[in-house]
């Protein structure tokens, strides 16, 4: 089911009346109620928890993108802890997690296994799983295993396959000025992506399809206070030099056959001006039984940070519909 702009805006108008959804201008992310380091293959990963893990509504685990990004992109979603526990974590070699920087650890299977380790450490018997970008790759792989206790899955701006991703990003590239396209294509073909001209051209792509909107100042303050940072070595090794084309170990990735194996209620999300477009997503959504697609108006790829209100307005009903219902009588 596709949620169009009018339907989503109507939902946002209603959600704006609810204090649980609205964030005041001076809102800042709360300190974690709990922090832990979870042993995984290759080291330990950092995780933080806000909210009651034993509360009436099932917890939600957010899986960040990259590869090599960190949990900081989901700071705004800590507001969801007013109703359920919110769990953010950093993948190995990212953010505040251990950094052995061993490429042998940089496999899809090993990153997926971190979700199991996190579940065991927190005794998550039932939970919701939300991925974004590369994080959606991991959420897809996890959900396709049909694990017990997975109540719902959300695939936000997802890398389902390198083929579908590049179909989307190259289509978006063609909407930029011809000279910008030429510079990007020439340098990527020549392998000269360290050229300043390439960086300048890619900044146009990122401004239109990635950041696209102001990021609240608390993101920078949080990064400074915690020392949170990216790991570009993973990104370059697994994906490549830029968002448009994959040249790393993920260049042949294809998770499309996994879509039909998902049995948990599934929500796809993307921005109206995302790197991963709704046009490319729609046929993929149809391959998951009962899945829905929500398109966030005017948002780009960084929508959990730049369009958090709309993002959470789409997530909340998805979670509530899949939450266990109290027994009657």
Neighbours of 329 (CB within 10 A): 2
Distance of alpha carbon 45 from alpha carbon 169, whole angstroms: 31
Annotated catalytic residue, options 97, 133, 164, 168: 133
Annotated catalytic residue, options 90, 93, 98, 274: 274
301 is catalytic: yes
Handedness of CA 149, 155, 158, 161 (dihedral sign): positive
**Distance of alpha carbon 89 from its chain centroid, rounded?**
12
Three-state SS at 113:
helix
82 is catalytic: no
Annotated catalytic residue, options 64, 301, 307, 318: 301
Residue count of the chain: 329
Note whether 154 and 139 are within 8 A (CB).
yes
274 is catalytic: yes
User: DSSP letters along 37-91, please?
Assistant: EEEETTEEEEEEEES-TTSSS--EEEE--TTT--GGGGGGGGGGGGTS-EEEE--
The residues that bridge with 50 in the sheet, in sequence order, are 86
Q: Residue 263: name the closest of 282, 244, 246, 288 by CA.
A: 288
Residues with a catalytic annotation lie at 133, 274, 301
């Amino acid at each position: 089911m596709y949620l169009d702009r009018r339907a989503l805006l109507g939902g946002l108008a209603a959600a704006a009346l609810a204090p649980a959804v609205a964030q005041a201008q001076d809102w800042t992310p709360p300190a974690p109620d709990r922090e832990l380091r979870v042993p995984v293959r290759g080291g330990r990963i950092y995780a933080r928890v806000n909210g009651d893990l034993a509360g009436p509504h099932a917890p939600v685990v957010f899986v960040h993108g990259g590869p090599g990004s960190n949990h900081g992109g989901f700071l705004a979603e800590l507001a969801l802890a007013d109703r359920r526990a919110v769990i953010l974590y950093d993948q190995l070699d990212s953010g505040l997690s251990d950094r052995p920087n061993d490429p042998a650890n940089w496999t899809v299977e090993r990153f997926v296994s971190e979700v199991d380790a996190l579940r065991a450490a927190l005794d998550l018997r039932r939970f919701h799983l939300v991925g974004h970008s590369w994080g959606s790759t991991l959420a897809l792989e996890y959900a396709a295993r049909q694990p017990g206790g997975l109540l719902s899955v959300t695939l936000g701006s997802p890398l389902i396959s390198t083929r579908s991703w590049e179909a989307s990003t190259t289509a978006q590239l063609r909407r930029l000025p011809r000279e910008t396209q030429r510079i990007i294509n020439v340098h990527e073909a020549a392998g000269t992506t360290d050229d300043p001209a390439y960086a300048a051209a890619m900044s146009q792509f990122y401004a239109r399809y990635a950041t696209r909107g102001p990021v609240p100042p608390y993101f920078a303050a949080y990064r400074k206070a915690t020392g949170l940072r990216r790991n570009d070595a993973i990104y370059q090794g697994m994906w490549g030099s830029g968002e448009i084309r994959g040249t790393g170990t993920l260049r042949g990735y294809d998770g499309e056959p996994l879509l039909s194996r998902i049995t948990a209620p599934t929500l796809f999300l993307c921005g109206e001006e995302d790197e991963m477009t709704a046009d490319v997503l729609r046929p993929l959504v149809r391959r998951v039984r009962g899945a829905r697609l929500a398109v966030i108006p005017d948002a780009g790829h960084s929508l959990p940070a730049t369009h958090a209100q709309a993002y959470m307005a789409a997530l909340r009903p998805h979670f509530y519909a899949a939450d266990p219902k109290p027994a009657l009588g």
